[in-house]
Structure 1
Amino acid sequence: MSLPTAFEKALAQIDEVHSQDPKKITPAGSRGPIPYELHYAQKMTAYLQKRHATASEPLRLAIRAQHLRRWEVPRSSYPMTKAGYLQWRASLKKRQAAQAREICLASGYAEVEAERVASLIRKEDLKNDEETQVLEDVACLVFLDDQFEEFERDLGDEEKVVGILKKTWGKMSEGGHKLALEISMSERTKALVEKSLAT
């Protein structure tokens, strides 16, 4: 029996962390509830397979670790303003990148490989780095597929929702756009997406 590779060890450790998320979700067709962040990570991996089936190991790990221990830093821990939101997001990226880097090093990756995973999670050089753009596409796709309907209900402001959809669309590449249009959406969501693309 062969020993696990660095990738297998890192992936298992990342998922072990996700399994500690106290929030549970029961996805359609599942046998029972699972930790939300584990569900999210699995959705990220599934969309990566559609977007870039031959992705490198660092990108596959960055995709899987994007929300590492996110539940430990709730949005409410920062001011409920646009500036507070941006500070929260920036802090999360740094924190999650540092934790993923440590997991990669502990799993046997070299410093340069572990730092590449961290760089992707921080979304550095987004406009010029193809792998960072793939990660951004995948995150937007999971938002649209898995989170948008609840987000839209909670926000309750159609104008703001349309604006957020336009920003989300603007972050994505043509490859991301193609997959986004293939997502099965409710009539309400489809109408909002069409409105955002028409304005």
Structure 2
Amino acid sequence: MEKLEKAFALFDAYNKQDPKTLVWDGVTYPEEYFYAIELYNWVLKLEPKASEPVLLASRSQHIGRWTIPRDSYPDGKAGYLNWRSNLAKFHATKAGELMEEAGYDTDFIEGVQKIILKQKIKLDPEVQLIENALCLVFLQFQFESFIQKHAEDKLINIVRKTWKKMSQAGHDAALKLTYSERAKDLIGKALG
């Protein structure tokens, strides 16, 4: 557990450098630090006995995301997909560097990186667990702000894509979240 706690401390210190902040329940947080903690919390809610690699991946899934902004890539689907791919590789590399500093060996680090890179999603239950948790963080903490920024047809499409990424355990947890009336309406239309 000593290595795990050291890695968490390194991940958290890195994510606390995020210049973007958000306020939740009256407290201001560096954005990626907040989301990393909430992703970790969702993993534990979904699987209280989650493995050490999954816990490490949850805390570092989007580590340093602010360092590669979306607007540094071209608009459109191709630009978006290229950004996402390069970002995932960055997250895996940065997490690996910090895990090595915490004392983990190469084989263990590579196992965590496979989860961060979402390799074999739908086939690997640990990767699916992370994907469920990511979708739940989005629905709980980010969906309402998306509603303010996007047209209804795009929001319905976002919900459908999010739903498709989750397993039944993710769906069950998502249906128990508290949503605004507008969000409930959009989710109903997307799933109807």
* TM-score range for the pair, normalised by the shorter chain length: over 0.9
Match of 1:159 in 2: 153
- The equivalent position to 1:139 in structure 2, one of 134, 143, 168, is 134
Partner residue in 1 for 2:163: 169
Q: Which amino acid aligns with 2:69?
A: P
Unaligned runs of 5+ in 1: none
What number of residue pairs does the alignment pair up? 192
Distance 1:168 1:176 in 2: 10
1:51 and 2:60 are equivalent in the alignment: no
1:25 corresponds, among 22, 27, 34, to 22
- Pairing of 1:36-115 with structure 2 (within 5 A): 36-115=31-110
Q: Any gaps of 5 or more consecutive residues in structure 2?
A: none
Task: For 1:163 and 1:24, locate their aligned partners in 2 and report how far apart those are by CA, in whole Å.
Answer: 27
Deviation at 1:81, TM superposition (A): 0.3
* Equivalent-residue separation in structure 2 for 1:69 and 1:169 (angstroms): 26
Q: Distance in 2 between matches of 1:79 and 1:187?
A: 35
User: In 2, distance between residues paired with 1:165 and 1:47?
Assistant: 19
Measured on the aligned residues, the alpha-carbon RMSD in Å equals 1.0
Shift >2 Å, 4+ stretches: none
- SS at the partner of 2:119? coil
For 1:93 and 1:111, the matched residues in 2 are separated by: 18
Identity of aligned residues (%): 43
Shift of 1:192: 0.4
- Structure-2 separation of matches of 1:47 and 1:182: 13
Distance in structure 1 (CA, Å) of the matches to 2:78 and 2:147: 21
Q: Which amino acid aligns with 2:18?
A: D
Q: Distance in 1 between matches of 2:22 and 2:123?
A: 36
Give the letter aligned to residue 167 of structure 1: K
| Counterpart-to-counterpart distance in 1, 2:29 and 2:134 | 20
Distance 2:148 2:101 in 1: 41
